[in-house]
């Protein structure tokens, strides 16, 4: 069994990289792999937008990430700088920056690139999508 960190850079409903990251993560967990965390960077932070509403015939990627976090206790970490640039705010960040609302879905949390580097150091390998 190896310890993985998953890096997601693809937007929620754009190119299929977000979908592939989800499928890989589900398969790795089913195979008994340990996931240190899933780190969302660049357009990948859009995976955490609580206001995303997919069509009824599409997979709800947000809900699937939430299931992974709940079932396997995998941390879902957004790069805070990338998130802010794309209009994704936690409640605390919105309050601190004078915004009246937030849209970061639970259990996603904001973090920095330092957390990605620490995760890479602690993991056996990183898989990027």
How far is 24 from 9, CA to CA, in rounded Å?
Answer: 14
Question: What is the pLDDT at residue 14?
Answer: 81
**Average pLDDT of the chain, as a whole number:** 96
**Catalytic residue at 79?**
yes
Q: Is residue 55 predicted with pLDDT exceeding 90?
A: yes
Question: What is the pLDDT at residue 15?
Answer: 81
pTM for the whole structure: 0.96
Q: How confident is the model at residue 1 (pLDDT cuts 50, 70, 90)?
A: confident
How far is 90 from 98, CA to CA, in rounded Å?
Answer: 12
**Set 5, 79, 89, 104: catalytic member:** 79
Question: What is the pLDDT at residue 97?
Answer: 95
Question: What is the pLDDT at residue 43?
Answer: 96
């Amino acid at each position: 069994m190896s310890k993985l960190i998953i890096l997601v850079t693809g937007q929620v409903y754009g190119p299929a990289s977000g979908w592939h990251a989800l499928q890989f993560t589900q398969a790795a967990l089913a195979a008994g792999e340990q996931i240190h965390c899933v780190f969302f960077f660049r357009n990948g932070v859009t995976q955490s937008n609580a206001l995303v509403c997919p069509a009824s015939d599409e997979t709800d990627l947000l809900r699937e990430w939430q299931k992974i976090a709940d079932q396997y206790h995998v941390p879902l970490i957004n790069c805070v700088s990338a998130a802010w640039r794309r209009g994704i705010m936690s409640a605390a960040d919105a309050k601190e920056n004078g915004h009246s609302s937030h849209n970061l879905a639970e259990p996603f949390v904001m973090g920095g690139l330092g957390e990605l580097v620490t995760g890479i150091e602690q993991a056996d390998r990183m898989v990027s999508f």
